[in-house]
Amino acid sequence: MKIGIPAETLPGEQRVATTPEVVKKLVAKGFTILIESGAGTAACYPDAEFAAAGAQLVDRSAVFDADLVLKVRRPTADEAAAVRTGTVYISLLESCGADALVAEMTHRGVQVLGMERMPRISRAQAMDALSSQSNIAGYRAVIEAAAHNKRFFPAMMTAAGAAKPARVVVLGAGVAGLQAIATARRLGADVHAYDVRPETREQILSLGAKPIELDLGESGAGAGGYARELSAEAKAKQQAALANELVRAQVIITTALIPCRPAPELITTDVIERLRPGAVVVDLAAANGGNCKLTVADQVIEHQGVTLIGYTNYPSRVATDASSFYAKNLMNLLDIMVEKTTDELRLRDLQNDEITRAMLIAAD
């Protein structure tokens, strides 16, 4: 059974869907790995390491002629057209609702699986790419904040005087938010965190941060561990109550996202203009409109002395480890998709497992 790994073509994307370590394990299981030459270079995985692990270095057309095609990001129109009938295609599809590109693939007989559709159940944790990549995003967000901040994160004592720890506020305590809290605490910051879901309070406390508690008159807890959208009245209460907490911060990291909906606005222009000059806002929701409407996607801007960071692909900024995590997510997924008979590998019926059934885009 052949696995094709194409190079990622989206501008700024440095990850790759497998690594030499994972290739070696897949080859040992009986897979033939076809990887596009140069696919891992940006993630610091040179061709020579893939070849030494047992992969075959091929041109771009050959990787799409495999039995399974594995990518990180959504396919382009040319890539979708290159995948042959009968192939299983797997990546982060980055789509909500109707998707003409994916529909065209499924109607041609390609079985398309979206990594973001992984169900949040115990069995699927080792395959959960959204969590593995969000974890990296939360870490990198703090590193970006520290690099742009003009003050220390930890308390500092010197003969010349003392500096208090930076006050960091993290909005959203999902996977990215919790990692941001943990990273900021490791750097010595005074961390405060807020989430609309009341069950996150204990998690925030367990990481050494202080929970910000607001009475909105309703809960933001949604299905599957995600937040749900608040009512207009609750949103207004939230913005007003948060403002007094936010204006005291030197660093704000926002991670609030609702799947397939515009990012909720948590930081108003008024709050930005009340922050002290030198404050830094890292908006992890920039790709979905931003938790601050002043954020500009993929840019770092200043507004009245406040730096707003709107990068939309933090895992790519830690491409080596992000690729490693993602590759292992895929390898664990293949373990439930493919069975080994006496003389060959055989694809199981993807409808017969609750994980692959949830991930599968059906033609009808």
Q: What is the pLDDT of residues 79-98, one digit of tens each?
A: 999 999 999 999 999 888 77
pTM of the model: 0.91
Q: Is 221's pLDDT higher than 60?
A: no
- Out of 60, 74, 186, 226, the active site residue is 226
344-351, Cβ contacts within 8 angstroms, sequence gap of 24 or more: 344/1, 344/30, 345/1, 345/29, 345/30, 345/31, 346/1, 347/1, 347/67, 347/88, 350/88, 350/111, 350/113
Query: Could you tell me the domains of the chain?
Result: 2-117+319-355 (3.40.50.720), 136-316 (3.40.50.720)
Catalytic residue flag (residue 125): yes
- Out of 14, 91, 111, 131, the active site residue is 131
- Out of 108, 117, 120, 186, the active site residue is 120
pLDDT at 64 (0 to 100): 96
Catalytic residue flag (residue 311): no
pLDDT at 261 (0 to 100): 85
Share of the chain above pLDDT 70, in %: 95
pLDDT at 235 (0 to 100): 73
pLDDT at 226 (0 to 100): 54
Catalytic residue flag (residue 185): no
pLDDT band at 213 (very low <50, low <70, confident <90, very high): confident
Helix (H) or strand (E) holding 300: strand 300-303
Catalytic residue flag (residue 349): no
pLDDT at 201 (0 to 100): 94
pLDDT band at 225 (very low <50, low <70, confident <90, very high): low
Mean pLDDT of the chain: 93
Of 60, 96, 98, which is closest to residue 81 (Cα–Cα)? 60
pLDDT band at 227 (very low <50, low <70, confident <90, very high): low
- Out of 67, 128, 195, 283, the active site residue is 128
d(CA 79, CA 70): 12
